[in-house]
Amino acid sequence: AHAGWKGALTGVLDATVAAMTALGARTERLVGAIGPTIGPRSYEVGPEFRDAFAAAETASGDLFSPVADSDRLLFDLPAYVARRLAAAGVAVVEDLACDTVADPERFFSYRRACKQGERDYGRLLSAIVRAG
């Protein structure tokens, strides 16, 4: 499932794991993959984002780091997704550590395109596969 910050925060990962187990998957055999996404050094947010996030997810302070000389923060979305998957019982979570914003040669990025005034930002595709 695709999980940006809103989806991850509101339970899309938990719901996906629940749906898979309802179909017979065992959580100890599930593998979560965090594919290309905005990385923790690229995801700049304001304090209102942190405050809203903390209201719903009280143990989230370590996911934010300050931006020097600014009230802005950097948010670690991949770490949050990994944390939610582990809490849902997923035994193995692999993070490819591919930052779509920081690597324009390999990845499209809506955020990067907007910052640079580009008209289009391309697309990425991922899939969930049930083995066997």
Domains of the chain plus CATH, in order, are 5-115 (3.60.140.10)
Residues with Cβ within 8 Å of residue 81, at least 6 apart in sequence = 3, 8, 13, 32, 34, 37
Instruction: Return the DSSP state at 123.
Output: -
Q: Which helix (H) or strand (E) holds 99?
A: none
What gap in Å lies between CA 56 and CA 38, rounded to an integer?
21
Radius of gyration of the chain (CA): 16
Mean pLDDT value across residues 31-48: 93
Mean pLDDT value across residues 47-63: 91
Two structure tokens written together for 28: 């100890």
pLDDT at 123: 75
pLDDT at 132: 67
69 band by pLDDT with thresholds 50, 70 and 90: very high
